[in-house]
Structures are given as C-alpha cells and as structure tokens.
Amino acid sequence: MKYPKGIKGKLDKQFSLFIRKRDRWTCQRCKKKYPEKARGLHCSHYMGRTNMATRWDEENCDALCHGCHSYFEDRKQTAYRDWKIEKHGLSLVERVEAKSRELFKPIPIELNELHDKLKKSNES
C-alpha cells in the first residue's frame, strides 16, 4: 500500500515528541535531562521502526540520549531487552515482542488519525 507523501515522517515527528515529553525530556537510562525539543534526546525503538506493528507503540519506545541510544542499537536483544525488563517488566517486553510478530499495515486514515491525536496531545 502506498501512503500519502510524508505521512509517516509527520507521524514519526509527532510520536517522537510525544515520547520525549512523556519521559520528561530525560534519558531513561542515564537520567540526563534535556531542554524541551533538544536534538540530543532521541525516541528509541526497542523493536525497530521498520516493524509497522510496533513503530508507533509507546510501550516499544523510550527517550534515550545519543550515547545510550547508540549503546543499545547494537544490543537490542541483549542489553536493551534486559534493561526494558528491569524498567518495565517481562510481561511488557513479551507483549511488545509478540506484537512485533503480527502482520500490520495501517491504512492512511489510521495514520492521519494517530497523527492528529498525537499533535493535539503534544500541544497541551
């Protein structure tokens, strides 16, 4: 399915902002605090962004600084998994992993609705 030009990028931007706001502009691993909208704090995906079933799932994502994000990037199924279990519990990690195995291809209207919902949340 072809998506309208730019919709995934716009949604990614709103989702990233939502996660960083949710985590109070603080790296969830090293606890370094960032000013609002700082570029050094990332929205890290435990199950990669290529997986559409978990791409915009807030349980799959954490605000991480560049250093912590880089550290976990090559250690998703080892150190990142262990850290998520310690922080959120095994049931959440298993739920995200199971969801990542589901076939999921959202239709454009679903992406637009999620974008609008996140944008509204981010503006409050």
Tell me: the pLDDT tens digits for 69-101?
Answer: 999 999 988 999 999 999 999 999 999 999 999
Q: Which residues contact 111 (CB under 8 A, 6 or more apart)?
A: 3, 7, 8, 11
CA distance 64 to 105: 27
pLDDT value, residue 96: 98
- CA of residue 56 relative to chain centroid, distance: 6
The per-residue pLDDT for range 25-77, each reduced to its tens digit, is 999 999 999 999 888 999 999 999 999 999 999 999 999 999 999 999 999 88
pTM of the model: 0.91
Burial 60-69, CB ≥16 within 10 A → b, else e: bbbbbbeebb
Q: Where are the domains of the chain?
A: 7-108
Q: Where are the beta strands (DSSP E) in 14-116?
A: 41-45, 61-65
CA distances from 86 to 47, 92, 98, 122 (A): 17, 11, 18, 28
Residues 100-113: pLDDT tens digits?
999 988 888 999 99
